[in-house]
Amino acid sequence: MNGTRLHLGSALALLVAVVGTALVLAVDEPGEGAVMAGPHEAYQIVCAILEDESWTDDGIMHIRNRKLASVVISDSIAHAGVGTIVSSADIDTVSGHLVYAGTLEIRPEALDGSWSGVFFMLIDDAGLRGQAVLHGNGPDLDGMYVVSDLTPLPPAELEGFASACGGSPAIAGTRAVGTYHRLRP
């Protein structure tokens, strides 16, 4: 019986080592593009509401098809540029609970390509949480994806980003912290 446990334990260890090595080779190894895998931090600063429709019904504020223009500030050339957000939200005006989700496109200024994908943010009794998953398009970002945790910027911190909107006050902002990954064909 102990020999069988040892054999199964060795087989499991070998399987973990093989899978771990395959994941490192498949995701973290640099590729042909301009961006390597690794961590990132960016700030998405909303400068303008381009269009939306909203109404309140029974204490719930509904926002639909809100299109936002943004500036993305990052020390990574893979993210610094401009963005477009299309989103919808439901906000309970009594509890402050929020469900906010949509699509996002980021066009880095220094690269030939863009990021596109989806995001969500929730505020409920469990607290605040949000995440974005974006995939790369174009010569410099094709075969890449990024997964980020999202945190809304408080008003005091948002004030520091007025220069991003040409001197006008920023409407909203989000801090994204995540990791770039590379897929291999």
Is 20 inside a domain boundary? no
Is 146 inside a domain boundary? yes
Over 70: is that where the pLDDT of 23 sits?
Answer: no
pLDDT digits (tens, 9 = 90+) for 71-107: 999 988 999 999 999 999 999 999 999 999 999 999 9
Is 14 inside a domain boundary? no
Over 50: is that where the pLDDT of 22 sits?
Answer: no
Comparing 10-14, 136-140, 161-165, 176-180, which segment has the lowest mean pLDDT?
A: 10-14
Domain tally for the chain? Answer: 1
pLDDT for position 134: 96
Is 126 inside a domain boundary? yes
pLDDT band at 10 (very low <50, low <70, confident <90, very high): very low
26 touches 183 (CB < 8 A): yes
Domain that includes residue 171, residue range: 31-182
Is 59 inside a domain boundary? yes
Average pLDDT over every residue of 143-172? 92
Average pLDDT over every residue of 56-83? 95
DSSP state letter for 156? H
pLDDT for position 183: 84
DSSP state letter for 92? E
Q: Domain with 171 in it: what CATH number?
A: 2.40.350
**What is the C-alpha separation between 39 and 141, in angstroms, rounded?**
15
Cα→Cα distances 47→136, 152, 160, Å: 24, 15, 13
Is 116 inside a domain boundary? yes
pLDDT band at 36 (very low <50, low <70, confident <90, very high): low
Is 26 inside a domain boundary? no
85 touches 104 (CB < 8 A): yes
pLDDT for position 11: 32
3-state DSSP helix/strand/coil percent for the chain, to nearest 5?
A: 20, 55, 25
pLDDT digits (tens, 9 = 90+) for 73-83: 998 899 999 99
pLDDT band at 167 (very low <50, low <70, confident <90, very high): confident
pLDDT for position 9: 34
Q: What is the percentage of the chain residues whose pLDDT exceeds 70?
A: 79
Is 52 inside a domain boundary? yes
